Amino acid sequence: MGVSCESGNVPEYVVSAAGLSKTYRNGIQALKGIALSVKQGEIFCLLGPNGAGKTTTLRIFSTQLEPDKGDVWILGFNLRTKRKCIRKRIACVPQEAMPDPELTAWDHVFYYLFARGLSVLEARKRARWALEAAQLWDHRNTPTAQLSGGMRKRVLVAMVIATRASLIFLDEPSAGLDPLSRRALWQVLYELKGESSIFLTTHAMDEAEAISDMIAVLYQGRVLAVGTPRELKEQVLVSGDHKLVLEGPLPPGCEELGRVEAYGGKTIVYPKDEGAIQLLVEHSLKAGVRVAIQPVTLEDAFIYLVSEAGA
């Protein structure tokens, strides 16, 4: 599977990991033998709550952290023996990264490219392309201290997409952003799709569902499931692609009509068939319970997977 450091070919799988484990000195076992594969050209999302092991995984894949156990191949290179080869071909935005407040958006992108060995002419060309893609061209000469939080995030993203690296790592890229800034960032990532492979971490269900080709659900250091957003949602379904949300308790006689969850005074039913939907609606209305039919969400799938794992 290995390739020479001079090879310009990008393999079918840009990330391949098996048996990956990491325990910190304080005894916390962050990763427990996980396996992941990321295909070339896709947006791959590692989805999980805080403390799931997302950042640990990203730091290992981006050569910032050594794993305790496991085999990892990045862009066809063995992580343990070809770290320098990997670093030449990847770009990464850590969660804690912040732009220099005194430098402009242009300064960040241009000098980052120049430091990576690009000529002045090529660095200028790519800096313009990246800033336009990130919708920052009109603000290119503004010190980042004067930009909004969303724009500062996009400056960092512009820096890495300007490299046109084969593989880009983003750790919680939209954390702390308002809805409009998040959507602007998603659009940048979506437009980059195909030119670079993107590996990102998030705890935001809507973000994972909106932009990901593939999602791995990570919980307490273990991968619970991997699939497309639709494939993950199908795991929670008994039949069809909708759920019923009751504004109250389940009416008597409806216990066998589907899988039932209850919380916060509401009852959620994943009906076993179309007939069950009709019966549930009829019984709910007779009992004076308001009912709504809604599409199943990725959050539903996440809660189901965690509960099935015994958490």
Winning range, highest mean pLDDT, from 34-38, 48-52, 179-183: 34-38
Residue 113 scores a pLDDT above 90: yes
Domain with CATH 3.40.50.300 in the chain: 38-56+88-228
Q: What is the mean pLDDT of residues 263-277?
A: 88
pLDDT of residue 239: 64
The confidence band for 8, taking pLDDT boundaries of 50, 70 and 90, is low
Whether the pLDDT of residue 30 is over 90: the answer is yes
7/219: higher pLDDT: 219
* pLDDT for 192: 84
Average pLDDT over residues 55-65: 97
Instruction: Identify which of 69, 67, 68, 79 has the alpha carbon closest to the alpha carbon of residue 15.
Output: 79
Say what the pLDDT of residue 195 is. 82
Instruction: Tell me which DSSP letter residue 144 carries.
Output: G
pLDDT at 310 over 90: no
For the chain, where do the domains classified as CATH 3.30.70 start and end?
238-295
Render the burial of 161-187: b for 16+ CB within 10 Å, e for the rest. bbbebbbbbbbbbbeebeeebbebbbe
Mean pLDDT check: name the lowest of 68-72, 175-179, 274-278.
175-179
Phi, psi at 2, each rounded to 5°: -70, 155
Do the Cβ atoms of 74 and 61 come closer than 8 Å?
A: yes
Q: Which residues, including other chains, have CB under 8 Å from residue 263's CB and lie 6 or more apart?
A: none
Element (H, E) at 219: strand 214-219
Give the mean pLDDT of 206-212: 93
Question: When comparing pLDDT for 136 and 237, which is higher?
Answer: 136
Q: Is the pLDDT of residue 7 over 80?
A: no
Quickly state the pLDDT bin for 168 (edges 50, 70, 90): very high
**For domain 238-295, which CATH number applies: 1.10.1060, 3.40.1010, 3.30.70, 3.30.420?**
3.30.70
| Summary mean pLDDT of the chain | 91
Tell me the average pLDDT across 104-114.
Answer: 96
Q: Which CATH architecture has domain 38-56+88-228?
A: 3-Layer(aba) Sandwich (3.40)
- For residue 119, pLDDT beyond 80: yes
> How high is the pLDDT of residue 115?
93
- Looking only at the bridges linking them, the beta strands covering 69-74 and 29-39 are unpaired
Q: Average pLDDT in the 222-242 region?
A: 87
